[in-house]
Amino acid sequence: TMSAQETKVKDIDWDYWEKEASSLSKEQLIKFLLKKSDRNKREQRKKIEIEKREEDCVEKYLAMMNNALPSSYADDNYPDEEKKKKGMRLYQQNEGRKKQIKVIEEEMKNIKRKIEDVKKPKQECFAKKKEAQNNITAKKVKAVYKYFEKDSDSTIELLFETYIGCLRGVEKGSKEDVELYLRSHKGLICSMNKLDEAKLNRDHAKTYAENLKQLKEPILEKEYVKFIPFYVWMDNVIRIVKYTIEEKHLRDDYEQKEDAIFKLNHDIDRTQIILDHLGTGPDKHDHTTNLIQFWKKHLADLLVHLGKQEDKLEKWENDYINEIQTHQEYKDEQEKKIDKKSYPVQGQADKPKEAGEDHEKSEESDEPDNEEQYSNEEDDETPESSKNEDSD
C-alpha cells in the first residue's frame, strides 16, 4: 500500500516543473518554484476572504436572532415549571384556534361557490320572467277579461286565483280580485313590476307551487295557449323564490362562519395578551434558542477552519520547499530500491540467460515509467556515483 508520504508526493506534477527548470541554478530554481506557487496562494487568499465574509454574515445573523429574544423574556417571567406549562398550554390553544380559522375559511370558500351556483339559474329565471311579462300584452289581457265574463273553467280559474293572489300577497285571489286586476293592463304590469320575491310569504309560495304543479299538464292543451305567458311568469316567480330561499340559507351560514372567525380571533388576541405578559411564547423561544445554538457551533467550526487556512497561507513558502525536499528524498529512496534490484542474490549461482530472454528484457527497458526514466537519466548523468554504489 502507498504511504501517506508517497501519496503526498504523487499529487504534485513534479515532471512538469523539473523539465521546465532543468537549466536553472539552485537559487533560480527556488524563485521559479515560488513563482509557480503564487497562483495557488491567490486561490488560498480567496478562500480565506470567502470564509471571512461568511463569518461576518453569521455574526450579523446571530445578533439579529439574539435581538429577536426580547429582554422581557427572562427566568422571572417563567419562574417555575407551572408558568412554563401555562404558557405552552395557552400557546397551543391559540395554535388550535388558528387551525380552526383555516378550516372555517375553506368552508366559507365552498359556500361562496354555492352562492354563485345559485345566482346563475336565478338570473336566468329573471330573464324568462321578463320575457313572459313582455308577452302579456294589452290585447291578451283584454281577451282574458272577456273570457272570464262569458266562460268558466276550473283550470283557468285556478291559474288566475294563484296569479292574482301572488300579486296581492294572499294565498288565493277571489273572482272579484281577478276581474279588478285584469281591467287595466297598465295597472297589472305595474303590480307585476312591484313584486319582490324575497318578501313573498313562504307558506303562500308553497301553495302557489302546488297549484302550478297541478296545472303543468293541462295548461299545455290547445285551448289554453293564450294563457301560457301567465303560467310561465308565475312559474319563474316560484323558481326565483326557491333560489332566493336557498341563497338566503347559504348567506346565513356564511355570516355564522364569519361570526365564528371573529370570536376565534377575539380569543386569540385575549390569549396573546396573557402570553405577552408572561414573555415570548415558549415554543417560539425554544426554536429561536436552538437556531442560535446551531449557528454558534457553525461559527466556532468556521473560525477553527479559517485559522487553519490562514496558518497554511502564512507557512506557504516553507511548506512548499519542504514538499520539494520531500520529493528529492523520495527520489533518492526510489533510486536505491532500483539499484538493490540489480544486486545478485547470495547463495544462488548465476544462470545463463537465453538469447530470447535478453531480447524481451531489452524491449521492456525501452519503455520505462516516468519515475524510472527520470532515475535512469540521473544515473546516466552521474555514472561515477552508480559505480561507487555498485562497488560498495
The three-state secondary structure class of 184 is: coil
Burial (CB count within 10 angstroms: exposed 0-12, middle 13-18, buried 19+), residue 341 = exposed
d(C-alpha 107, C-alpha 115), whole Å? 12
With contact defined as beta carbons under 8 Å apart, do 159 and 231 qualify?
Answer: yes
The reported pLDDT for the residue numbered 122 is 92
Taken in order 69, 73, 79, 81, is the CA torsion positive or negative?
Answer: negative
Q: Cell 272577456 sits at which residue?
A: 146
User: What integer pLDDT is reported at residue 117 of this predicted model?
Assistant: 92
> Do 51 and 67 form a contact (C-beta atoms < 8 A)?
no
Domain locations in the chain as residue ranges: 1-47, 124-239
* Contact between 90 and 270 (Cβ < 8 Å): no
DSSP-derived secondary structure letter, 222? G
Q: Among 233, 237, 221, 10, which residue's Cα sits nearest to residue 135?
A: 233
| Chain centre distance of CA 17 | 54
- For 102-162, the DSSP string reads HHHHHHHHHHHHHHHHHHHHHHHHHHHHHHHHHH--HHHHHHHHHHHHH---HHHHHHHHH
Q: What is the pLDDT of residue 307?
A: 80
pLDDT digit string (tens) for the chain, length 392 residues: 334 433 343 444 555 555 555 565 656 666 666 666 666 677 777 777 887 787 777 777 777 766 655 444 444 445 556 777 777 888 888 899 999 999 999 999 999 999 999 999 999 999 999 999 999 999 888 888 888 877 777 888 889 989 989 998 888 888 888 888 888 889 889 989 998 888 888 899 999 999 999 988 888 887 888 889 999 999 999 999 999 999 999 999 999 999 999 999 989 988 887 777 666 555 555 666 676 777 777 778 878 877 877 777 777 666 666 666 665 555 556 556 655 555 454 544 444 444 444 444 444 444 444 444 444 444 444 434 433 444 43
Per the CB < 8 A criterion, the answer to whether 123 and 247 are in contact is no
Q: Are 178 and 161 in contact (CB under 8 A)?
A: yes
